[in-house]
Amino acid sequence: MHPAFRHVARLGARALSTGTPTRRPYEGFVPLNTFENAFLAVGSAVMSLANPRRHDMIAALGETTAGPALPRMREHMLASPEGRRVLRERPRVHSNSVDMAALAALPDRTFGRAYVDWLERCGVTPDTRDAVRYIADPELAYVMQRYRECHDFYHCITHMPVSVEYEIALKYFEFANTGLPMTAISALFGPLRLTNAQRDRLFREYVPWALRCGASARPLITVYWEERWEQDIEDLKAELGLWDAPPAKWRKPRAQAGQLKASAPAPASPELPSM
């Protein structure tokens, strides 16, 4: 982490050790006052734009700018029986919680099989999501964690690979579906990193799809994805009001996917507490 942001983290840690002892709402929580939150929000935005590979800064940006979006997302979950179960049971998504071998053995066209094929085609794992640290309310912290860990499901079900261009397109989709400010910031400034041809294609093809599809779809934070592994992916898309993004360029053809590789154990991360 950049020294300036380590300083903010130390300030938060110091706040826990001075005055009356305060119970942390969850392991790893770092309290921030208004100034520290604003400082971290601005600094993480600058660092994220300068280096989009800084996942820690992108995570900090999402948490420090979430504002009223997270309570709205929680309200959507509470209004849905499926969403309420997610909030109550708090499932996590990583290679220790999801049986990737079992998903790879599912029939073609199921959501679970499509997900493991997507992971292999894109060369990614579900074990790279940062733990939430700066959101005081444990339930809202879980909502943010859930959004973060379900991001790859959105790629998979809309048939979008991983690249700067497609990540930006998905940020437009996520903003229309979740209202998280971080997604809007990424959507607005991310195109500066594209070539002219990529930028033209983004705004001509992907942004119109992303805004329409994201706005008309069911709030995806309410979906208990782990209960949908065996569902036909086309039926699932129809149920959620989703349709495929415009055709994208993949590094690996679909026919070459399906050979599940051994996944490394998920890195240890602080668990968010049950309510």
CB atoms within 10 A of CB 75: 12
Give 209-248 pLDDT, tens digit per residue.
999 999 999 999 999 999 999 999 999 999 999 999 999 8
Q: Under 8 Å CB-to-CB from 269, ≥6 apart: which residues?
A: 28, 131
Predicted TM-score of the model (pTM): 0.84
Instruction: Answer for the pair 160, 121: CB distance below 8 angstroms, yes or no.
Output: no
**268: confidence class by pLDDT, cuts 50, 70, 90:** very low
Instruction: Give the distance, in angstroms, between the CA of residue 120 and the centroid of all CA atoms in the same chain.
Output: 18
Give 34-45 pLDDT, tens digit per residue.
999 999 999 998
Q: Hey, which residues does 232 pair with through a beta bridge?
A: 110
Question: Can you say whether residue 109 is alpha, beta or left, with left for phi > 0 and alpha for psi between -120 and 50 degrees?
Answer: left
Q: Which residues sit in the known binding site?
A: 151-152, 155, 167
Q: What are phi and psi of 235, to 5 degrees?
A: -65, -40
Q: Which residues sit in the known binding site for Zn(2+)?
A: 151-152, 155, 167
Q: Under 8 Å CB-to-CB from 256, ≥6 apart: which residues?
A: 121
Q: Under 8 Å CB-to-CB from 235, ≥6 apart: which residues?
A: none
Nearest 5°: CA angle at 57, between 268 and 12?
75
Rounded Cα gap, residues 89 and 274, in angstroms:
8
Domain ranges of the chain: 67-256
Instruction: Answer for the pair 77, 71: CB distance below 8 angstroms, yes or no.
Output: no
Give 80-124 pLDDT, tens digit per residue.
999 999 999 999 999 999 999 999 999 999 999 999 999 999 999
Q: How far is CA 82 from CA 223, 243, 256, in A?
A: 6, 21, 34
Rounded Cα gap, residues 177 and 191, in angstroms:
20
pLDDT at 67: 92
pLDDT of 46 above 70 = yes
pLDDT of 6 above 70 = no
Give 10-32 pLDDT, tens digit per residue.
544 444 444 444 678 899 999 99
pLDDT at 50: 76
Instruction: Answer for the pair 95, 62: CB distance below 8 angstroms, yes or no.
Output: no
pLDDT at 2: 52
pLDDT at 52: 72
Give 49-79 pLDDT, tens digit per residue.
777 778 888 899 999 999 999 999 999 999 9
Average pLDDT, the chain: 86
Q: How far is CA 269 from CA 26, 132, 249, in A?
A: 12, 10, 33
